[in-house]
Amino acid sequence: MDFLYPLTRWQRKRRKRKERLARDTAFQQLLDRDGLTPVEVLADVLPGLEPMATGFDLVRIGGARDGGYLLPDDLDGLAASFSPGVNVMVDFDLDMAARGVPVFMADASVDGPPVQNPLFDFEKLFLGPETRPGFITLDDWVAGKAPAQGDLLLQIDIEGAEWDVLDTVSDAVLNRFRIIALEVHDFHEVFRDGAAAQKLRVLKRLGRDFVVAHVHINNCDAPMSLGRLSVPPTFEITYLRRDRVTDLRPAAPLPHPLDTPNDRRNVDFVMPPVWRDFRM
């Protein structure tokens, strides 16, 4: 009879290294098959993901783990917060409501937020590129819910659907948002010819009207290895609209003192400083 013993710490590390090597090798084979996006195109986008100081200190909104974001402390006077994707944790939304900001929430996978608040407004709908049964566009959602005047905040974590949503939103609605706290999914696909165009288009569009105020890797997914480049599949990025920036300069090195790992069981990863001098 074979007996199963708990793995030692060294064995666990060795297993993780082997799993990561197999995943990275498969990723490289996939890229070799599909072809890499030209370096010159990526070089136009990746420097735009370098966080900048904006003249505002960063504050943490939401809990200490997953669902918390670092935002520029430019929150006074916001007319509303739009928060698609409702999880068991709504600390971010509760923090915004505590500041007196109405919070509009949408998610068809749940019947409502896990806690109630007088400033919460919930729609059982998914956010998508077109309005149809079960879905609503960001334009239609804002048109139906937002006050006629005033800046808005967008906190968006919708498991990969963010690319379609941000690709189809109008300039008029996008620029009503003073701050965007975005969780990016499947970023590694920006290096695949078959999936790169939309992601590059969305990132360039955001970089035109917004400045990156902070970046933090979601440590639920370890970065993938692509040559000398470390590629995080999932990360949080905070944007501040350019007209709000008062002092544009490179931010202090990451991590920020307020950064915490999304999953305390995993090591926290630091966004590599490779964006500034991209090399393949």
Residue 222 burial (CB count, 10 A): 19
Higher pLDDT, 224 or 272: 224
pTM: 0.86
**Cα–Cα distances in angstroms (integers) from residue 216 to residues 55, 122, 238, 263, in the given order:** 19, 28, 9, 13
Determine the pLDDT at residue 181: 97
Per-residue pLDDT tens over the stretch 115-163:
999 999 999 999 999 999 999 999 999 999 999 999 999 999 998 999 9
What per-residue confidence (pLDDT) applies to 42? 63
Mean pLDDT taken over the chain: 84
Q: How far apart are CA 4 and CA 20, in angstroms?
A: 24
Q: pLDDT of 28-40, one tens digit each?
A: 676 666 665 555 5
Identify residue 208 by its one-letter amino acid code: R
208 CB burial (10 A radius; 0-12, 13-18, 19+):
exposed
Mean pLDDT over 60-74 rounds to 90
Q: Using 50, 70 and 90 to split pLDDT, how confident is the model at 12?
A: low
Cα–Cα distance, 47 to 227 (Å, whole number): 18
Taking CA atoms, 96 is separated from 162, 196, 223, 224, in Å, by: 21, 34, 31, 34
**What pLDDT, in 10s, does the model give residues 199-249?**
888 999 999 999 999 999 888 887 877 666 677 888 999 999 999 999 999
Domain ranges of the chain: 7-36, 37-277
> Per CATH, the architecture of 37-277 is what?
3-Layer(aba) Sandwich (3.40)
- Alpha-carbon separation of residue 161 from 83, 167, 181, 184, 215 (angstroms): 14, 10, 15, 9, 19
- Beta-carbon contacts of residue 161 (< 8 Å; ≥ 6 apart): 126, 127, 128
